[in-house]
Amino acid sequence: MIKIVAILLVVSAGILADPVLKPQIIGGTDAKRGDNPHMCSLRSTRHGCGASIISANWAVTAAHCVEGVAPSARTLRCGTLVAEQGGKDYKIAQIIIHPDYDTPTMINNDIALLKIEGAFDLGTQDSDIIKLPVQDSDLATDAVVTVTGWGHLVNGGPANSVNLQTLDVPVVGRADCTEKYKSFNPVTTAMFCAGLPDGGVDACQNDSGGPVKYNGELVGIVSWGRQCALPNYPGVYVRVALFRNWITQNTVFILLVISATTLADPVLKPQIIGGTDAKRGDNPHMCSLRSTRHGCGASIISAKWAITAAHCVEGVAPSARTLRCGTLLHEQGGKDYTISEMIMHPDYDKPTIINNDIALLKINGEFDIGIPDSDIIKLPTKGSELSPGTIVTVTGWGYLVNGGGSSPATLQTVDVPVVDRGYCAERNNHVAPVTNAMFCAGVPEGGKDACQNDSGGPVKYNGELVGIVSWGKQCALPDYPGVYARVSVFRDWIKQNTGV
């Protein structure tokens, strides 16, 4: 954390060059192997700040550690207890600083995301993901949290610790902490404080950006304080729970292309992996939602209405999209329909990211229906639920391999079993919440899934549209099933808006 205050809290790109300005663990002990596999060293030529792995491609740190820094000027070293040896180095492809960093007070919203080139080695004793807390959750006063880092071992000391250090400190009430710091710097709701009244244990220079853990979750990030380990001046940490949705928007969403630009960049949109060519007449409800090319799937539900994922049309004007229906080949054949109206679910993205991911599309004129290539799909009964193990069918024109290539010429189809919601929620706990408005499907070993460019497409069971392709952690990963909008939850809403 930056152990200076008020106007001296101006942290710049020079932070890694001047150890006097970087926050250290004082009063801690050597960390044990396997206790902190999420821990990374953010470095130029040497250790400068801490960071934590939160997904296969992303880490999180303090904004003041990377302010004014180009991604190419830093690397992450992860998977070691010794910052200057061992582990594996990763190049950084992208840095995202919170847009309200330093607003409205100095060192506020002190959080940044780091996307690496490639993926972290995960699932080992030395390198793994740390879970994130629930949005807006708060820590009780006196809850004991754990701080880790490679900072100096004494206040203002000359060198970093060789071995990763860890210490336990109790949370201090925000009002009490605010009072202590009132003449130095504001303590906002985006922060929390932890430390002992007598001082002697604290994070300090070169610990900035490092993790604060509670109950196995990343609840805080080392940020700032008045010098290090002083009596009556607890350390101040970023309250990660306040930024939970922002993190998801910038990591899950970037991976899935959940934005108005999904139709513009095929490299970033949800594909069928492990499927086969669909047969004529099996999916006459299937449409391609497109700008100049295929972007998302959609399904015909009446003579005038189709249904898709809300994230496929967020921020998009009806005139900017068309529907191509009645063909197995999205780039030829079929018939194009202009769209007159788009209705996104009013609670899309509420109360959690990518929740209620459903939208209705009304066309000008009517669909050609009642023929082998173009027809309506039935909707499920309100509130109906699929049992775990039920085999559902997903269709789409997305990529055939994870993360690249081109869309297949022919519509693809894949059969996958429904997965227990509780298990799916646990697997995706660090990615995004799995709500009652969703269900999951996939095989444990991976290899079959929907992904980029399949978003909005249909999931069928017993001839009914039970789901809509929504999101997932990358594509076809083992133990990470795809997540789909549960259409039966929205049955009344669909009827109110379409009469269907």
- Ramachandran class of 251: left when φ > 0, alpha when ψ lies in -120 to 50, beta otherwise: alpha
List the catalytic residue out of 41, 52, 55, 208.
Answer: 208
Cα-Cα-Cα-Cα dihedral sign, residues 470, 250, 316, 412:
negative
Structure tokens at 357: 């991911």
β-partners of residue 53 are: 59
DSSP letter assigned to residue 240: G
Q: How many angstroms separate the CA atoms of 468 and 33, rounded?
A: 43
| Structural contact between residues 192 and 241, judged by C-beta atoms closer than 8 angstroms | no
Can you tell me which residue has the tokens 């066309």? Answer: 363
β-partners of residue 339 are: 363
Q: How many angstroms separate the CA atoms of 115 and 91, rounded?
A: 9
Residue 110 catalytic? yes
Structure tokens at 497: 């808006």
List the catalytic residue out of 47, 64, 330, 345.
Answer: 64
Q: What is the CA radius of gyration of the chain?
A: 25
**How many C-alpha atoms does 156 have within 13 Å on its Cβ side?**
4
For 326, the 3-state DSSP assignment is coil
Structure tokens at 158: 């000359």
For 253, the 3-state DSSP assignment is helix
Exposed / middle / buried, residue 429 (Cβ in 10 Å: 0-12, 13-18, 19+): middle
Cα 278 off chain centre by = 32
**How many C-alpha atoms does 285 have within 13 Å on its Cβ side?**
24
Exposed / middle / buried, residue 463 (Cβ in 10 Å: 0-12, 13-18, 19+): exposed
Residue 104: asked if its preceding bond is cis (omega within 30°), the reply is yes
List the catalytic residue out of 38, 47, 102, 110.
Answer: 110
Q: How many angstroms separate the CA atoms of 66 and 400, rounded?
A: 37
| Structural contact between residues 202 and 235, judged by C-beta atoms closer than 8 angstroms | yes
For residue 89, give the H/E element and its range: strand 88-97
Q: How many angstroms separate the CA atoms of 413 and 282, rounded?
A: 10
Q: Which residues are catalytic?
A: 64, 110, 208
